[in-house]
């Protein structure tokens, strides 16, 4: 299925058999398969962690997994998170925030946000009470939030790849992505996973509504930041004593 291949090629460094550019329609409809990409990423991460644990300490294994996590996604979500930190906290009006996010230079807010993010992710991976659950469900929920944001929230700019993808994503893609996420969640964590899914929906909505108070709409950087923040939230939940 061309849309599934498009999802993998767009969100990861995985090689694919398609060597031509994907159309806007194919990229938009591929958002239905984002959680499946997350499942593949999570499977690789937990496999590498289990393999590394035979040869390295837990801290070194966690560092390798976190590095691989960023590399496999070409750091696109991490880059979006950094730009969002600079834009949302460095600008004093919507126009200035949008301008800052387009600047390729890394500012103080991005450096601070990126440092805190990586330290927190590293800490939660080490202290997870359910390693399989956290490393699989975090990428799944993170990529589901991308589809959620694409379908339900306005885009800020009148053109660009993000606009093309959004215009070709619909409720059909969101429903398929949600059903896929629900099935994966049930097999991995049963009722706990369903509860976390509910938390993800609530926090995604609150975060994106907050962004719309600061910007005229969402951007590619905000999509990336949303994915990263949801992944972090899931990791934090699985590191809690209540899990």
Structural domain spans, the chain:
2-12+25-238
CA 126 to chain centre: 20
Give pLDDT tens digits for 31-83. Answer: 999 999 999 999 999 999 999 989 999 999 999 999 999 999 999 999 999 99
Half-sphere exposure of 2 (CA within 13 A, CB side): 12
CA distance 141 to 200: 7
CA 105 to chain centre: 22
CA distance 42 to 119: 19
Contact at 8 Å (CB) between 8 and 14? yes
- Among residues of the chain, what percentage have pLDDT more than 70? 99
CA distance 137 to 43: 10
Lowest mean pLDDT, pick from 14-23, 106-115, 149-158: 14-23
The answer for 74, left when phi > 0, alpha when psi is -120 to 50, beta otherwise, is: left
Q: How high does pLDDT run on average in the chain?
A: 93
pLDDT of amino acid 223: 97
pLDDT of amino acid 1: 80
pTM given for the model? 0.95
Task: Give the three-class secondary structure for 167.
Answer: helix
CA distance 41 to 35: 10
CA distances from 24 to 3, 21, 206, 229 (A): 11, 9, 29, 26
CA distance 205 to 201: 6
Structure tokens given for 121: 């992710």
pLDDT of amino acid 202: 98
Alpha helices in 12-130 (DSSP H): 24-29, 34-52, 58-72, 76-90, 94-102, 108-126
């Amino acid at each position: 299925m061309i849309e599934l291949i498009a999802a993998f090629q767009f969100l990861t460094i995985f090689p694919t058999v398609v060597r031509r550019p994907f159309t806007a329609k194919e990229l938009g409809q591929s958002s239905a398969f984002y959680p499946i990409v997350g499942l593949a990423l999570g499977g690789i991460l937990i496999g590498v962690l289990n393999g590394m644990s035979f040869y390295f300490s837990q801290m070194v294994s966690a560092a390798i997994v976190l590095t691989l996590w960023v590399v496999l996604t070409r750091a696109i979500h991490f880059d979006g998170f950094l730009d969002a930190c600079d834009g949302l906290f460095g600008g004093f009006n919507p126009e200035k925030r949008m301008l800052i996010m387009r600047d390729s230079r890394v500012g103080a807010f991005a450096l601070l946000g990126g440092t805190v993010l990586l330290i927190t992710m590293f800490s939660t991976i080490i202290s997870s009470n359910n390693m399989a659950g956290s490393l699989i469900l975090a990428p799944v929920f993170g990529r589901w939030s991308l589809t959620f944001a694409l379908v339900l929230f306005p885009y800020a700019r009148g053109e660009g790849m993000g606009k093309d993808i959004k215009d070709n994503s619909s409720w059909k893609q969101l429903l398929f992505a949600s059903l896929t996420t629900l099935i994966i969640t049930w097999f991995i964590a049963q009722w706990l996973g369903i509860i976390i899914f509910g938390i993800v929906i609530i926090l995604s909505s609150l975060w994106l509504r907050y962004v719309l108070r600061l910007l005229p709409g969402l951007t590619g950087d905000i999509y990336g930041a949303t994915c990263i923040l949801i992944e972090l939230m899931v990791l934090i939940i699985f590191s809690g004593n209540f899990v």
